[in-house]
Amino acid sequence: MSFKVAAAPHGHSQKKTNQVMAWVVFALIPGVLIQSYFFGWGVWFQILIAVSVAYLSESICVWARERSARQALRDNTALVTAVLLAISIPPLAPWWIIVIGTLFSIVVVKQVYGGMGQNIFNPAMAGYVLLLISFPVQMTHWLPAAPIAPYDLGIWQTLHTIIFEYTPSGYDVEQLRTTIDGISMATPLDGVKTALDQGQILAEAYQQPMMASLAGIGWQWLNLGFLLGGAILLQQRVIRWHIPVGFLAGLLIPSFLAHIFAPSVMPGPVFHALSGATMLGAFFIATDPVSAATSDRGRLLFGLLIGVLVWIIRTWGGYPDAVAFAVLLANLCVPIIDRYTRPTVYGHHVGAKHDTE
């Protein structure tokens, strides 16, 4: 009889790591399809570049350790990291943006710490934050959703823009974001935050072209797509409910209370739930089994902490969205969360003293 000790992540389901990661990619499909519908072909090119760089860089790192690259790649963790990073950045970001972010996520955040199961930070979000801090212009150039976009880019035009940073007709991304009346479009979170900072009230902020009945044209459907994917993961028991519920509670309860007390300047829970990366963060990013808390109570507290941090940064921080920052900050707190939420060992009473003499 042999007893095998394996590195994290450890799960209660009977699925192997590669099967769990494959389910994560499968559950991302509804959201990615909606994203490509509203924001163009660029998301597919970003995914293609990210996956290629992730596989190549992971193979080199594993080969340098004299391990089997084929076996390492078969766990699909590099695939999930690459896809999550690729769908988090603007679809028309230059090709070198996703290359730098993917290399940092795989080589520095994952492999330098020892590979799968050893990283203390979420690799995709660490790469995203590196890009956002280093290249804020390129990382905030989201195009308006298709129904209100001033230009419609085809496959070739999109690829040309990603490679050369301008379309075959000579338009750069900033020009593609500008309407015929000279107004530069932004994401709903960014647009509302900017309007509030300029002294407007919510009723005025919601009059912007990118806004819709719930939380922004395209973005509300994008979040619903990832919510559907999250439901698939829960149904397949790939993830457990504690982190998503904690995340959404930490975000929506404060926003609900703030909206009651200041309805003219504090967006409500529906806007927060269906804007930005809320559902992607709740079901796909915060639930990373390696960098999250381990116990049930710990996961709930971990998700709650992320949700509260997202609301605080969205409300008073310098960035319109905050999922990546909140996840990394919560990753730092995982050791202390695990320490104080670990279950009591069977047969051991809390507070009991043991004589060691």
Is there a contact between 142 and 90 (Cβ–Cβ < 8 Å)?
A: yes
pLDDT tens string 122-134: 999 999 999 999 9
- pLDDT, averaged across the chain: 88
pLDDT tens string 228-237: 999 999 999 9
pLDDT tens string 67-103: 887 777 888 999 999 999 999 999 999 999 999 999 9
Residue 33: its pLDDT value, please? Answer: 97
Residue 43: its pLDDT value, please? Answer: 97
Residue 336 CB neighbours (<10 A) = 11
Is there a contact between 176 and 59 (Cβ–Cβ < 8 Å)?
A: no
Residue 209: its pLDDT value, please? Answer: 77
% the chain with pLDDT above 70: 90
Mean pLDDT within 171-190: 70
Distance, CA of 109 to chain centre: 16
Query: Residue 21: is its pLDDT beyond 90?
Result: yes
Cα dihedral sign, 289-291-294-299? negative
Residue 356: its pLDDT value, please? Answer: 44
Residue 9: its pLDDT value, please? Answer: 52
